Chains A and B, each alone.
Chain A
Amino acid sequence: MSLKGKVNKIIKFSNVDGPGNRMAIFFQKCNFNCEYCHNPETINLCKNCGLCIEGCPTKALNLKEKKIEWNEELCCECDKCTKICPHNSSPKIYSYTIDDLLEKIEKVKPFIKGITVSGGESTLQADFIAELFIQVKKKWPKLTCFVDTNGGVNLKDEKYKKLVENTDFFMLDIKAWDKVEHLNITGKDVDTVIENLYFLRDINKLFEVRSVIVSERINNRLTVEHVSRIISEKETRYKIIKYRNYGVRENMKSNLFSPTDQELKELEEIAKENGVKNTLII
C-alpha cells in the first residue's frame, strides 16, 4: 500500500511560511497541546464519535461503517463541526497519496518558490514527508522544501535522517526557554526542542526561529536572550510573534495576554544587540 498523509488543509499561496510565495501543507495531529493554539482542531485524529454530525447545517457529515464521512461538495465551511468536537480534532481531513500532492503542486508550480509542511506537527508524518520531498526535488529541482516544526521529536534520531537530508530548511518554534514555563504552555519538555535548535543550527538548516510572545505567562526576555545568542552567528531569522487571541480556545483565553508593541520592540532590540542580523515582528 502506498504511503498516505493526513492533511488538514492546503494554502496554495502563503507569504508567511518561509521565503517568497509558498504552498503550505498543514498536516493533522500534534504532539504538543499549546494553550494558545490557533488551530486546536489540528491536534488529534478524529475518533469517529459522531458528535459533530448533528451540528452540521448542510448535512455534509455522515456516519458510514462507524467512520465519519465528509462530503466536501456540501460543506459550507462554517467550522461548526470543529467547534463542537471535544477531542481537538476535525472530521474534514484529507488522506493524500504522494501523487495527489504532486498534482496539486504542479498546478501552482510557476508561482511558488517552494513548499512548506506545517501542522499540527508535520514531523509526526516524517516518512511520508521525506518521500514527498524526494519526489518534489526529482520533478522540480528549483523548488525548495521547508519544514515548520515545534521541535518536539529528536531530529538527530536515525528515523528522521531521510527527512532532515531532504529538507532545505527548518523553521523552529521556541515557545519558552524556561523548563516549567514550556511544560505549562505546551504540555511537553523543552529539552528536545533545544537540542534541535543546536542541531539544526550546526547543520546549517535553520531558516528561522519563531517565538510567540505572551505577556506575564512567559519570561520572554529569557527566551529571546538565549535563542538570539545561539543563532546569531548564522543567517537565521528570528521571528517575534505577537500573541493574538483570535482562534484560541475560549477556556484558555483568560490566562493569555497580548504583549504591547513596545514589549515586542524591546525584545527585538535584545535579539539585535545579541547579533541577530535578521529579525521580524509580526
Chain B
Amino acid sequence: MILETIKSQKITFEQKVVALARLAEGSIEVLNKSEALKKYIEDGIICDLFEGNAPYRPRYIVPDYDIFMEQGSKFLNIDKPTNIWEAVHGLLILYKHVPSITTMPVYLGNIDYLLEPFIKDEDEAYLAIKLFLKHIDSTITDSFCHANIGPKETKAGLLILKAMRELELPTPNLTIKYTEETTGRISVEAIKTALVTAKPSFANDKIFRDDFKGEYGIVSCYNGLKVGGGANTLVRVRLGALSKLAQSKEDFLIRVLPEVSKEMLDYIDERSRFIIEESGFYESSFLIKEGLLEKEKFTGLFGFVGLAECVNNLLGATEKKERFGYSDDANALALEIVSTMHKIIANHKTQYAGEFFENTHLLHSQVGIDTDRNESPGCRIPVGEEPEIFEHIMKSAPFHQYCPSGIGDIFVFDETYKSNPEAILDIIKGAFETNLRFFSLYSDTCDVVRVTGYLVKKSEIEKLDKGEQVLRDTTILGKGARDNAKALGRKLRSE
C-alpha cells in the first residue's frame, strides 16, 4: 500500500504526502473500542469518516481571525496589518498553519469583515481580493475550505462576490449569513454569483446565532461551529443500514437507536479524549497560545445519513405517496427519530465537550461520502424523488431545528432565474421564515457545482474520468458521489 501510493501517477505529490501520513497513523491502534462498536464499524453502520486510528488534531478548527487581525502573530512573526496587501498576506500565511482532518483549513473567517477596514481604493482592493482567492484555490486544494460573508453589506463582500463570479473556482466554499438586515443588493449579488459558480450558500443567521450564543462560523460543507472553537471529531451512523437490525419501528426507536447512539457517543468521547489528553494539541498549538482557539469552545459531532432510507425501510414504503418527503406518517416517524437522537445527545454530559456547549456533543445531518450507496445525505429527500420546491422546503424545514452543527438542502435552478434573481431571494426568505437553516443553489449551466456540500468543477471530473491528475482532493470525492449517489442528478427547478 505504501509503495503503491509512492508510485501512483494519478495523485499529486501533495496528495501522496497526505496519503502516506494517513497510512502511518493507521498502522497503530491507540483507541479503546468496545466489541459492540467494532461490530458496528465492521458492518458499515458506524463510520469515523477516515479520521484515522490516532487523531492528533481536531477535525474542524474555527480560529478567531479577528484576534489575529488585531494582534498579528508572535509565533508566525507577523505584525498587525495596516493595508489590504498586508491583510491578505497575513491571512494567507496563517491559513497554512491551521490544521484539520484534511490537513487544510476548513474555515477562513468572515473574509469580508476581515478585509473591509482595508478597502480604500476599490480597484486596488479588487485586485488584492482576486489574487487572495486565486491563491487559496491553488494552494488549499480542497473545497471543504469555507469562507463566510455577511450578514451586513460591505464593500469587501460585494467585491468578493464579483471576483468569485469572474474566477469560477471551486475553492473556497462560501456562505452568506442572511438576516432581515442583509440588504437586497448584496443578497441579489450573492444569488447572481451562485447561479454562475454554485456559491455562496445562504445561512439563516438568526437560528445559528441563537444556537451558538453569538459568533459562529460555517465551515467545511455547511457545518455550524463556534468561532474560537471547533469540533474534535465527527462520527456518523448510517440509519438506512441500521434500520435493517430492527423488527419494527417501535423496536427501532426503543432498542436499536439508543443502543447504537450509546456506542457512537462513547466513540466520540474516546476520539476526543485522545486529542485532548494525549495528542498534545491543546498544549502545543500556537493557535491556542495566542488566543485564536479555546478548548472550551470545542465539541464533538454526532452525524447521521440515510434518514430517508431508514424511514422507508421501517415502513416498507415502496409507493411514492408512502415514502419520506411525501407521506405525513413517514415524515412524522422521521421527525421522531431525529428528535430522539437529539434528546439522547443532549442528555449525554461529557468532559470531552467544552463548557460553552454545556458539555454536550451536537447533532449533525451529514452529507455522506463518495462511496455511500443507498444512503441519502442526512435528512435529505433522495435525489430523483424531490417534490416540487414549495413542498420540498415545507417538508424539510422541521428537521433543521435539531441539527445546530449543520443541515441543508441544494436546489438547482434553470437559466431563466438569471433574469430574475429576486425570485430566488423570495424563495429563500420564505424558506427562512419557515425555519429552514441553510439553503444552497446553483444553475444547470454552472461548471462549478455543489456535490453534497463541497464544490467541484464538472470539467475537472471529466479529466479524472480520463485518468488524468487533478489538483483538488474533492474532485475525486465528487466523481465518486456522482457515480455512486447520483449527486449531480438533482431535480431542475424551472419557473
Residues on A lying within 8 angstroms of B by beta carbon are: 11-16, 19-22, 107-108, 110-113, 280, 282
CA distance A113 to B420 in the complex (A): 12
CA distance A111 to B388 in the complex (A): 13
Residues on B lying within 8 angstroms of A by beta carbon are: 388-390, 393, 416-417, 419-420, 422-427, 429-431, 433-434, 495
- A111: contacting residue among B419, B420, B426, B495, CB under 8 A: B426
Are B434 and A19 in contact, CB atoms less than 8 angstroms apart? no
Residue of A11, A15, A19, A112 ringed by the most chain B CB atoms within 10 A: A15
CA distance A19 to B426 in the complex (A): 10
Residues of B close to A14: CB separation below 8 A:
423, 495
Q: Contacts A15-B417, A111-B426 given; 8 further ones with Cβ under 8 A?
A: A11-B495, A13-B388, A13-B427, A15-B416, A19-B422, A21-B426, A108-B390, A113-B426
Pairs across A and B, CB under 8 Å, 20 listed: A11-B495, A12-B390, A13-B495, A15-B417, A15-B419, A15-B424, A16-B495, A20-B426, A21-B422, A21-B426, A107-B390, A110-B430, A110-B433, A111-B390, A111-B426, A111-B429, A111-B430, A113-B422, A113-B426, A282-B419
Are A12 and B388 in contact, CB atoms less than 8 angstroms apart? yes
Beyond A12-B390, A13-B495, A110-B433, is A21–B423 a contact (Cβ under 8 Å)?
yes
CB distance from A49 to the nearest CB of B (A): 33
Residues of B close to A280: CB separation below 8 A:
419
Residues of B close to A15: CB separation below 8 A:
416-417, 419-420, 423-424, 495
Are B420 and A110 in contact, CB atoms less than 8 angstroms apart? no
Beyond A15-B420, A20-B422, A282-B419, is A110–B429 a contact (Cβ under 8 Å)?
yes
CA distance A282 to B430 in the complex (A): 27
Beyond A15-B417, A21-B427, is A110–B434 a contact (Cβ under 8 Å)?
yes
Beyond A11-B495, A12-B388, A16-B495, is A111–B427 a contact (Cβ under 8 Å)?
yes
Q: Tell me how many residue pairs across A and B have CB atoms closer than 8 Å.
A: 57
CB distance from B179 to the nearest CB of A (A): 16
Interface pairs A-B: 10 shortest CB-CB: A111-B430, A21-B426, A110-B430, A15-B423, A21-B423, A110-B433, A20-B422, A15-B420, A20-B426, A113-B426
CB distance from A65 to the nearest CB of B (A): 32
Residue of A nearest to B413 (CB): A15
CB distance from B347 to the nearest CB of A (A): 34
CB distance from A229 to the nearest CB of B (A): 24
Residues of B close to A21: CB separation below 8 A:
422-424, 426-427
- A112: contacting residue among B388, B417, B430, B495, CB under 8 A: B430
Residue of B nearest to A18 (CB): B420
Residue of A nearest to B389 (CB): A13
CA distance A107 to B394 in the complex (A): 10
CB distance from A112 to the nearest CB of B (A): 6
CA distance A21 to B494 in the complex (A): 12
Residues of B close to A107: CB separation below 8 A:
390
CB distance from B444 to the nearest CB of A (A): 14
Residues of A close to B389: CB separation below 8 A:
13
- B420: contacting residue among A12, A16, A108, CB under 8 A: A16
Residue of A14, A21, A108, A113 ringed by the most chain B CB atoms within 10 A: A21
Residue of A nearest to B432 (CB): A110
Are B423 and A20 in contact, CB atoms less than 8 angstroms apart? yes
CB distance from A78 to the nearest CB of B (A): 18
CB distance from B492 to the nearest CB of A (A): 13
Residues of A close to B388: CB separation below 8 A:
12-13
CA distance A282 to B417 in the complex (A): 11
Residue of A nearest to B424 (CB): A21
CA distance A11 to B389 in the complex (A): 12
CA distance A235 to B389 in the complex (A): 32
Residues of A close to B433: CB separation below 8 A:
110
Residue of B nearest to A16 (CB): B495
